[in-house]
Structure 1
Amino acid sequence: MTNSVTSEAARGGTSTSSDARAQENRQEMLAKLAALDAEHAKALAGGGEKYVERHHKRGKLLARERIELLLDPDTAFLELSPLAGWGSDFTVGASLVTGIGVVEGVECLITANDPTVKGGASNPWTFRKALRSDEIARANRLPVISLVESGGADLPTQKEIFIPGGAMFRNLTRLSAEGIPTIALVFGNSTAGGAYIPGMSDYVVMVDGGAKVFLAGPPLVKMATGEDADDESLGGAAMHARTSGLADYFAVDERDAIRLGRQIVSRLNWKKLGPPAAAQYEEPLYDADELLGIVPGDLKIPFDPRDVIARVVDGSVFDEFKPLYGSSLATGWASIHGYPVGILANARGVLFSEEAQKAAQFIQLANRAAVPLIFLHNTTGYMVGQEYEQGGIIKHGAQMINAVSNSRVPHVSVLMGASYGAGHYGMCGRAFDPRFLFAWPSAKSAVMGPQQLAGVLSIVARAATAAKNLPYDEDGDAKMRAYVEGQIEAESLPMFLSGRLYDDGVIDPRDTRTVLGLSLSAIHSAPVKGTDFDGANFGVFRM
């Protein structure tokens, strides 16, 4: 059935600003957003005021200033993984800015070293973030622009970055081999392994007096060969433009390099291969601000995902598929910023056999229609218990996971609430390679909830003690449970998970429609195909 208003809450019930529960939910969400803003501010601060000032005094632009000048005026920049490295010993953001933006009308994947953080040196989280951006560029067929200023590897962590770091060079060559342009704008150091970033890019711009690209700097050359050399003769922009030929374009300053980068993109003759969005579409009928009041602070309290859908999709129109069957999972068709989508949204946390079978069928239909899928998470996993095991929950859950695994249409996941256990997998969690995965500040994800996990450990410990005919330490059990619950709670939170790049960013719920629209637009740079193309198919479904 096609609905422009999808639930009692959407009509003005539990999700409106006048409702007491919605107000409580809103205040809790605003508090979480304030904490999120504080962490994002750490990434924006880079190496701190001292190093920012020093960088500016040298006449250089900051990483985000370079990006802003590179982008088309008044266009959005979808920053990715801004909290990378959160909770580690490294600066939040991992000394690298990555995201998707429009340059000369072309959506590009942009990376920019942050030279205010240890000279832009790459640590283990930098490489993980860079490799994730490569995945996004390749899957979505996005030209890559690298804004380079890095002193190379953070040497004290070399044991963690030397081997995986080589994948960056492999990825650049693979992107080029697939016809995806790679462009390097070199503003400063690009040393040692970093020299291969311009070396393996299709186009290279170097800034006079700033770019320094060499396999070994003067000190190492002196030690290795006894030769005395300076930066400019070893790897300056003028040398590479006139002598080595590594530089394709010679920029007089940073702004000129950005101008040349835009000029290169304008000459790519780049075209999207996916179907275009509808020329006209309606905005949602409901205010996005109301999204702050939908998800309870206590995720044990259910909420209706149709309230979210009504505030995200075009015209608030959701054509629901099988609305009376498997009601713990809402499935249906909609469009976002003119792009058709199929949506799977957890209506009540647990997934039963009916929901799993419904999802598997819907995913197959989306593949037949070549329509991207949006997964809205709030699930505690698949139902357990004797009745459900005998009813085939394993094979039915496997059908859903089979369908997700072998689906060929693009997937985008948004973690709104809980995302636990195999339910996280069935709803296309990170391990199942969604094109993009974002989380709300209210989200939690783990093997299971903290209380459940601690309870399982307690039951196992009690059974082991009873088997030995020993008395059970109740005080020790209480301490163990409290410790485990605290640990799992901390490791389930979105900033922890985002810091490890298990998502592409924690977003303000009010930005969900915009973020999904930008993601879908990027996705349509590549062809959008289902399983009917190229001989693709699903695995064997156990019946």
Structure 2
Amino acid sequence: MATKYPRLQSRAITSTPEYAENMAEMRKLCEDLTSRVAECAIQGSNSSVKKHLARGQMLARDRIESLLDTDSPFLELLPLAGLGMDGMTVGGSVVGGIGLVNGVECMITANVPTYAGGASNEISVQKSLRLNAIAVENRLPGIALTQSAGANLGQQSRVFHAGGAMFRNLAIKSKLNIPTCCVVFGSSTAGGAYAPGMSDYVIMVKERAQVFLGGPPLVKMATGEVVDAESLGGAEMHSRKSGLADQLARDEMEALRMAREWVASLEWLKLGAVPKGVDVEEPVYDAESLLGVVQANIRIPFESREVIARLVDGSRFLDFKPLYGPNLITGWAHIHGFHVGIIANDSVFFPEEANKATQFIQLCNMRNAPILFLSNITGFMVGRSYEENGIIKAGARFINAVSNSCVPHITVVIGASYGAGNYAMSGRAYAPRFLFSWPNSKCSVMGPDQLTGVMEIVMRDAAANAKKQINEESMNARLSVFREAVAEEQDVYYTTARCLDDGVIDPRDTRSVLGMCLEIVHGNEVKGGNLYGVSRM
């Protein structure tokens, strides 16, 4: 039975006009997110979809749904990759996520063949590499639902060089005993052929699946040989002659059933300990109220304890050093029965906050407790007195601890994520197991007003040093363009499109997402370790 920690008492006043106004703004942001996610679920033009269905083939998302256990959740990852980017498809022409297959959490990927034949573009590669990293770190068997024309030749230089790692990773996973299965539904050419070639187990659909390094036109051009696609690389040939296929399915549903049987044959066991027989308490405060306590405008502060109270079991939280470094909240809680350490922000970091975080991360590693970072941080405090007080050394110890921590980190950006504060709060560069953003969040080196102000000071100082008269109109025009660029690049949809998080999530879904992530990270052993090399004292 989980330890009963003290219960957090919400201080939110829900009857104020400000609360109602903020909730309305947050709902708008969530509605916008919903519409964007719906956009990513579109699988090509109507004509492409009709043609695909007319061949008796299933759409990518239907294949995933038919593979999963009945009522299994599916944690879709990086769904908005490529959004708004020139030459990219939303989602990168691949659907990826984690769901249950015969009771086993599996990383499932599916090419979207109704987008340019499932060809991989630059974002497809970035997304696939991130999905692979998640599968390896969390020891997840992989199932690839494959139908791909290979690389998008118009982006060959951006796909070819980085994309080779996708096949190297399959070989590495096999060595690590992380099993992979490739189900081939249609034509898989060139790079698309290496996915089954490098997988542990291959299932091909009769009279539909075709796998070859070069299709009939390339073979004719290279060798003069005239051969049809089925003879060159059909499922029957690979099942009876080449031996590439381990199973030959009569149709797509049988292929998916065979994939489920393959998972069952693994007799897969988690290496991490998961709570059993625990009565999970729901939070005292409902998830809907998150939209009232979290600010739509990140320039307005809010209390991270209010967020914690709406995420953790029974709204129970054991504070660590509540009176020291109060801008940083640290403590222990349970989420869906899993014991976690939580680090959250209320304002900028001073040396005290950094020292507190460093010690807390050490304690979590001693207790083998995963760490949840709730990031709403503008950065470390600057100024002469703080430099003299050792803010750099304290911050370095904090970042050192984050870098060398051995327990899983899960990061949720719930507001601002600026500068070195992003690093300290286990941003993308610090390899958290999962990183999600809320639709109100922003991420950059600093806010557009601050960054533009710094640029103006630099430009004025440069002109003064050169003893030149500054052109105010020209400078203001340049600063305006610069500010707009920074504002665009800090936007959550700009960053998620470039795979800088694992997805934008509705705040109300956060507890469920965290529960899944904690279950997933325990696929591997959860064990802390020594944090330090050299540290400045």
Residue identity opposite 2:323 in structure 1: L
Q: Is 1:540 aligned with 2:537? A: no
Structure 2 counterpart of 1:507: 505
Amino acid at match of 2:150: G
> Which residue of the partner structure matches residue 188 of structure 1?
186
Q: CA deviation at 1:411?
A: 0.2
Residue 27 (structure 2) aligns with: 30
Instruction: State the Cα distance separating 1:2 from its structure 2 match.
Output: 4.2
Q: How does 1:301-312 map to 2 (within 5 A)?
A: 301-312=300-311
CA deviations on 1:210-244 (whole Å, 9 max, x unpaired) are 11001111111111111111111111111111111
Pick from 3, 6, 10 the counterpart of residue 3 of structure 1: 6
In the alignment, structure 1 residue 329 sits paired with structure 2 residue 328: yes
Aligned length: 532
Q: SS of 1:102's equivalent?
A: strand
Please state if 1:70 is matched with 2:67: yes
* TM-score in terms of structure 1 length: 0.96
Q: Secondary structure at the match of 2:266?
A: coil
Per the alignment, residue 527 of structure 2 pairs with 529
Tell me how large the CA RMSD over aligned residues is.
Answer: 1.2
SS at match of 1:463: helix
1:199 is matched with which residue: 194, 197, 200?
197
Distance 1:41 1:68 in 2: 16
Distance 2:107 2:95 in 1: 11
Q: Can you give the 5+ residue segments of structure 1 that lack an aligned partner in the other structure?
A: none
The change in CA–CA distance for 1:35 and 1:187 in structure 2 (over 3 A counts) is same
> Residue 381 of structure 1: SS of its match in structure 2?
coil
Q: Quote the residue 1:155 is aligned against.
A: 153
| 1-structure distance, mates of 2:6, 2:452 | 42
- Paired letter, 1:138: V
| 1:24-423 equivalent positions in 2, closer than 5 A | 24-89=21-86, 90-279=88-277, 280-348=279-347, 350-423=348-421
Contact 1:335–1:341 (CA<8 Å) still a contact in 2?
A: yes
CA distance in 1, matches of 2:93, 2:381: 42
Q: Which range is displaced more, 519-528 or 19-28?
A: 19-28
Q: Give the alignment's TM-score, normalised by structure 2.
A: 0.97
Task: Give the 3-state SS of the residue equivalent to 2:65 in structure 1.
Answer: helix
Q: What SS does the aligned partner of 2:184 have?
A: strand
Counterpart-to-counterpart distance in 2, 1:444 and 1:521: 28
1:143 CA drift (Å): 0.2
Identity %: 55
Mapped contact 1:353–1:393 kept (Cα < 8 A): yes
Deviation at 1:192, TM superposition (A): 1.0
Q: State the Cα distance separating 1:55 from its structure 2 match.
A: 1.1
Q: Larger deviation: 160-169 or 360-369?
A: 160-169
Q: Classify 1:353/1:6 alpha carbon distance in 2 versus 1 (closer, same or farther; 3 Å).
A: farther
Q: Could you tell me how far apart the structure 1 residues matched to 2:128 and 2:486 are?
A: 28
- Matched to 1:304, the amino acid is E
Separation of aligned partners in 2, 1:146 and 1:314: 35
Task: Give distance in 2, aligned partners of 1:495 and 1:46.
Answer: 20
Give distance in 2, aligned partners of 1:180 and 1:126: 22
Name the stretch that deviates more: 409-418 or 295-304: 295-304
Q: Is the 8 A contact 2:401 2:531 kept in 1?
A: no
Does the 8 Å contact 2:44/2:115 carry over to 1? Answer: yes
Q: Distance in 1 between matches of 2:9 and 2:394?
A: 28
Secondary structure of 1:412 counterpart: strand
Cα deviation code 1:484-538 (max 9, x no counterpart): 221111100111100000000000000000111111111001000100xxxx542
Contact 1:2 1:320 survives alignment (8 Å): no
Q: Distance in 2 between matches of 1:33 and 1:297?
A: 10
Distance 1:278 1:411 in 2: 22
How far is 1:407 from its partner? 0.2
* Cross-structure match for 2:437: 439
| Contact 1:176/1:182 (<8 A) preserved | yes
Deviation at 1:7, TM superposition (A): 4.2
1:78-120 deviations in whole A, cap 9, x for unaligned? 0000011112121211100000000000000000000011010
- Maintained 8 Å contact 1:108/1:145: yes
- For the 8 Å contact 2:81–2:123, the answer to whether it is kept is yes
Give the gaps of 5 or more residues in structure 2.
Answer: none
